């Protein structure tokens, strides 16, 4: 976050006459962050090591003219707005400045205080607008790519269970054995449930991505009890030992709906990816919350996640190579939700041993 006293506009001024630099600095140092140099070589080094928004250069300098200097840097640093300072109104220099150096403004010497102020402020506006536009473009690109992926995978995840049901129905119609019909109905039921889970996930995703956050005081004990109550009917749930250790003495503020999505997905996964060959199947839920932050640790002694999959499991529709993998959207939604809550999630897992997810969240105080 930007400190209150940090000046947002960062300017580099290059001029071979030192007294020009001094007087510029003296006039504007209070409002802008100003760096100066008499050498174009040094100026290039400075651009490399610090982020500038605006560069001012004098036209008449011994090694390179201001325009030549701009020509040199403009491809490598296209974002920085260039302003040329000239003592003589030379039409040739002006044409070059525009065509070769693509300067934004000219400032005449001796400069006028208000004129400089206006030039810099509007140059910074342009800088900011371009930067914001770039950012928006990146976000749009990401959103479009996700939408593409989403439509592709959603069509698969919606269609596959339906086609399974249709396949079962076709088979059931061929089979005259009444006893087999019940088996087919059981399969249809499972397939429909799978489809339903996916639909619920999609709605969760949408609510998380577009919904307005609602901040309230979170009672972790209640939240975990609630989530456990919704999944304890799962067949996988049987025989699994769930330990909870929740320490919360102060009020912690966050978005209940997003937290519910997080707990629901992580606990479901911990239950789903158990290792039936182990004698005890355990899920540990540990929470430590106070008025400023919460640490949530959900671990299991299940199948674990292969190392090469660990950095991909939060990607949209990534399915690690496990036969019990769902659509690959659950952990993606978890990660998105935690990002929205300004927290972070890390995973440590040993294949064959189990997985531990650790989440750190700040309390969101409205």
Q: Please state the closest distance from residue 190 (CB atom) to other proteins, in A.
A: 7
All residues at 6 or more sequence positions from 50 whose CB lies less than 8 Å from its CB, including other chains: 10, 12, 35
**Candidate ranges 92-100, 133-141, 154-162, 278-286; the one touching other proteins (CB under 8 A):** 154-162
Counting contacts by CB under 8 A, is residue 244 touching other proteins?
A: no
- Per CB under 8 A, contacts with other proteins among 326-345 are 328
- Residue closer to other proteins by CB (options 310, 325) is 325
Q: Is 315 in the site for other proteins (CB under 8 A)?
A: no
155 touches other proteins (CB under 8 A): yes
Q: What is the DSSP code (8-state) at residue 116?
A: H
Per the rule left: phi > 0, alpha: psi between -120 and 50, beta: everything else, 342 is: left
Q: The tokens 């992580």 sit on which residue? A: 266
Q: Is 46 in the site for other proteins (CB under 8 A)?
A: no
CB atoms within 10 A of CB 303: 22
H-helix segments, the chain: 18-28, 40-49, 66-73, 91-99, 113-174, 178-210, 220-231, 256-272, 307-310, 330-340
Q: Please tell me the count of residues contacting other proteins according to CB under 8 A.
A: 25
- Give least dist CB 156 to other proteins, A: 5
When binding is defined by CB under 8 A, the residue of 216, 225, 322, 346 that contacts other proteins is: 322
CA dist 365 and 172 (Å) reads: 57
Binding to other proteins (CB under 8 A) within 208-237 occurs at none
Smallest separation, CB 305 to other proteins (Å): 12
- Closest separation in Å from C-beta 323 to other proteins: 6
Q: Which one among 95, 138, 171, 185 touches other proteins, defined by CB under 8 A? A: 171
> How does DSSP assign 210-226, residue by residue?
HSPP-EEEE-HHHHHHH
Closest contact distance (angstroms) between CB of 328 and other proteins is: 8
Locate 114 and state its tokens. 């208000």
Which residue among 240, 256, 320, 347 contacts other proteins (CB under 8 A)?
Answer: 320
Span near other proteins by CB under 8 A; candidates 37-45, 103-111, 262-270, 321-329 = 321-329
> Minimum Å distance from CB 266 to other proteins?
19
Which residues of the shown chain bind other proteins in the complex (CB under 8 A)? 152, 155-156, 159-160, 162-164, 166-168, 170-171, 174-175, 187, 190-191, 319-323, 325, 328
């Amino acid at each position: 976050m930007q400190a209150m006293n940090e000046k947002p506009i960062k300017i580099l001024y290059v001029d071979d006459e030192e007294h020009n630099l001094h007087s510029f600095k003296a006039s504007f140092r209070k409002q802008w962050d100003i760096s100066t140099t008499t050498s174009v070589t040094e100026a290039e080094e400075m651009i490399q090591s610090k982020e500038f928004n605006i560069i001012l250069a004098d036209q008449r300098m011994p090694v390179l003219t201001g325009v030549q200097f701009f020509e040199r840097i403009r491809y490598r640093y296209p974002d920085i707005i260039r302003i040329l300072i000239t003592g003589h109104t030379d039409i040739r220099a002006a044409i070059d400045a525009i065509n070769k150096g693509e300067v934004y403004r000219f400032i005449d010497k001796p400069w006028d205080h208000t004129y400089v102020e206006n030039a810099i402020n509007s140059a910074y506006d342009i800088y900011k607008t371009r930067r914001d536009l770039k950012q928006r473009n990146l976000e749009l690109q990401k959103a479009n790519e996700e939408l593409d992926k989403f439509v592709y995978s959603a069509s698969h995840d919606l269609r596959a269970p339906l086609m399974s049901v249709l396949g079962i129905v076709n088979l059931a119609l061929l089979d005259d054995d009444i006893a087999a019909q019940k088996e087919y109905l059981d399969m249809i039921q499972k397939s429909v449930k799978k489809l339903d889970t996916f639909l619920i996930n999609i709605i969760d995703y949408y609510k998380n991505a577009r919904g307005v956050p609602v901040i309230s005081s979170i009672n972790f004990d209640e939240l975990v009890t609630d989530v456990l109550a919704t999944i304890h009917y799962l067949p996988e749930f049987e025989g699994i030992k769930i330990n909870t250790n929740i320490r919360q003495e102060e009020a912690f503020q966050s978005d209940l709906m997003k937290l519910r999505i997080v707990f629901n997905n992580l606990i479901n996964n911990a239950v789903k990816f158990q290792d039936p060959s182990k004698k005890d199947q355990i899920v540990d839920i540990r929470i430590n919350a106070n008025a400023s932050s919460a640490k949530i640790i959900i671990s299991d002694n299940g199948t674990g996640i292969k190392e090469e999959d660990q950095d991909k499991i939060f990607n949209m529709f990534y399915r690690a190579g496990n036969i019990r993998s769902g659509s690959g959207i659950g952990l993606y939604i978890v990660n998105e939700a935690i990002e929205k809550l300004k927290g972070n999630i890390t995973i440590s897992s040993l294949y064959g041993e189990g997985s531990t997810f650790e989440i750190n969240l700040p309390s969101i105080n409205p």
